[in-house]
Structure formats: C-alpha cells, structure tokens
Amino acid sequence: MSGAAYLMLENGMVFEGKYFGGENEIDREVTGELVFSTGMTGYLETLTDPSYCGQIVLQTFPLIGNYGVISSDFESPIIGPKAYIVKYPCQDPSNFRSEGDLDTFFKQRGIVGLCGIDTRAVTRVIRENGVMNGKITAHEPSAADLEEIKSYRITGAVEKVSRKEPEFFKSEAGKYTVALLDFGMRRCVREALLQRGADVWEFPHAATLKDITGAIGANPDGIVLSNGPGDPLDSQAMINNVKEIISSEIAVFGVGLGHQLLSLANGFETEKLKYGHRGASQPVRDTKTGRLYITNQNHGYAVVSRSIAAETAEETFVNVNDGTCEGIRCKKHPVFSVQFLPDTTNGANGTGFIYDEFINGMEGRKCR
C-alpha cells in the first residue's frame, strides 16, 4: 500500500484511505460512477467485465484477492472498471492456480486501487441515496473536484468495449451457427454456446442483419445479444438494428443489455435503478414455476414491468428483492431474454437451462 488517497462522493462526503496498484500520478486521479458489488468471490470476473465501463467498483465483502490472480478466469481481455475499492486487499494469496497478487496485477495493468476505507459505510450511503458519482484523488478534495464529480457522465460505453472485427469460434459438434453481437460481453456467454454444439460468429455491436448474413454466407440459426454497459436508451441505432433482427424471425436470445434492447425494440420501457443489481447473490423467481434462482448480475437499468403488454410478451422472471423484470418472452416472434447472466452449466440450482431453451428453439426452427 502506498500513499494517502481520498474518495469524494457526489453528495460531498469524503473517505480517506490508501492507494494500491497503479502508480502513475495522472492515472491516480479517477472520476466515475460509483457502484457496489456484493460477491464474496468472483473479483476476477468483476474486474474483467466490460459492463463496468466508466464505473468505479466497490466490493462490499471486506477481504478481496485471497485466491490471487488467475488469467484463465478472466471474462475478457480488458479491465472493465475505471478503479477498484476494497477494504482489505490480500497481499499473500493462497491458491495452487494463483499467478500473483492484486497489487502487482494492478501495477502491471495501470489500475487504480483504493483500500483501507469502510466500504460498508460507503455502501450504506449508496443504498440510501442511490448510485452517485465519485472521485479518487491524492489531494484533499475541493469544490472544483465536486463540480467535476457532478458533471461526470458515462457516454459511448458500448462502442468503447465492443470488438472491432468479426471473429469465428468453432465448436466440437458444429450443429448450429449462432451470431453473437458483442455489446461488451463476458466470455462465458460464448463458452456456453460452444459447449452446446453451436459455432459462434462474434460481431461488433453495430453489425446489421446484412453484415451478419454477409459474413456467414446465410442466415444464422440464432442470434444472441450480449450483456454490456451503459444506458440502453443511449443508442437509437442499436434499438433500430434489434428491431430489424427481430423481424427476420430468426431465433433471438438477449442477455443483460441485450434483454433491455430487445424490450425497447418491442415498445417497452426501461428505467434507471436506485443502486442497480451487481454481484453473484441476486435472487430471481420463475413466474411459471415459482422456483427461485440465485443469479449473477451487473446492471443499473431495468425493463419496466408495467410497460409489457400482455398481448405482446410475457414476463418470465422477476427480481425477488424489488419486483423488477428479469426476463421476457415475446408471443409474436421467436424471441426471449433474461436480465441476469445464466450459468454456463446445468448444476442442480443453476440457470444453464436457459441456454438449452435457446438451443431447443433453434432446433425446432431447423426441423420446420
């Protein structure tokens, strides 16, 4: 740990801690949207999740880094958050897979870390007041810092984190061809499709149906709209693109931001949540069976349940904590989506069956 650091919130509150990680003086001044994640583990997946673009992530669990840095657990090649806040970063991880500690990793990647503050006190502030911007700085914050914090906005997030060129991934079985639009996806989405025998073509976020069919040489069996960062209303072009994809009558599955874009394309509404759903302990309920699932989530916006017209779609999952929409299924098109990130496998309490539903939907359409 090196040097005093301050966290200033949009409401003027200041917390003092210490830096760890990135040592560049310029990089140590970080302003972003401050959000908290509730996971006790999974910090590597959080750090490499592009959906955190433009945000400063605060971990509610006090000890982070105890099993080290494991590159095979990364969800993308990039670091999603602008900065990372923990109470105690583990300096001596213990795990046979560990390749090093967080402090060293952050120095190598130029990531700013802040430790030694009461992270749960900050979390309470966010829960009571809602998500707010914040700034990490080496000097005692001033009125000028507060103005900078209040004026901060996340813009162009999907464009920043999406891939730039199409890329093909071959599965062992090769039974289906799926086009995956990358809005800032986690690797596990692709892996779940490959495990189920689907060859995957990944495309940039702005790829049109014409771009997709041109690269593949035919219509794909299915199209997946990935998770990603930002406000789904930021890009009308993406919404219009999804409308065209839906009208093709190809099987479509949306995850996270993809769920929100599908909903907007069907005329539904979205709203910003008070403090979002982030972490690996988010409970959702299946509206048909009543069964509960503990899910992995990362989003600050939600589809408004009351905007879903019964003749157009049905709500398939709801959040147990606040009743927000966690999934829809369209009645007029072969389209469905979930807000949470499904598991890649089908454990006893897992949600991997959702990928199976998508695969079965493609199979059904192939048999027509």
* Predicted local confidence at residue 349, as pLDDT: 67
Which residue among 120, 154, 188 closes a domain?
154
Same domain, 263 and 150: no
207, 158, 164, 199 alpha-carbon torsion, rounded to 10°? -60
Asked whether 51 and 229 are in contact (CB, 8 A), the reply is: yes
Which residue among 92, 119, 154 closes a domain?
154
- Residues facing residue 277 across a β-bridge: 299
- Structural domain including 126 reads 4-154
Same domain, 310 and 235: yes
Tell me how far apart the terminal alpha carbons of the chain are, to the nearest angstrom: 62
* Predicted local confidence at residue 79, as pLDDT: 95
Same domain, 41 and 9: yes
Same domain, 251 and 324: yes
Which residue among 112, 138, 154 closes a domain?
154
Same domain, 204 and 91: no
Same domain, 144 and 179: no
Number of domains in the chain: 2
Distances, alpha carbon 360 to alpha carbons 72, 242, 357, in Å: 30, 22, 5
Same domain, 238 and 351: yes
* Predicted local confidence at residue 83, as pLDDT: 96
* Predicted local confidence at residue 38, as pLDDT: 87
Q: CATH no. for residue 35?
A: 3.50.30.20
Same domain, 126 and 172: no
Same domain, 110 and 196: no
Same domain, 314 and 188: yes
Same domain, 257 and 319: yes
Instruction: Give the separation between CA 300 and CA 337, rounded to whole angstroms.
Output: 17
Q: CATH no. for residue 263?
A: 3.40.50.880
Instruction: Give the separation between CA 105 and CA 350, rounded to whole angstroms.
Output: 31
Please tell me the pTM assigned to this model: 0.94
Same domain, 192 and 141: no
Task: Profile the chain (368 residues) by mean pLDDT over runs of 10 residues.
Answer: 88 96 77 93 95 96 96 95 96 95 94 95 94 94 95 95 97 96 96 96 97 94 97 94 95 97 96 92 95 94 94 96 96 95 78 95 71
175, with CB counted inside 10 A (0-12, 13-18, 19+), is: middle
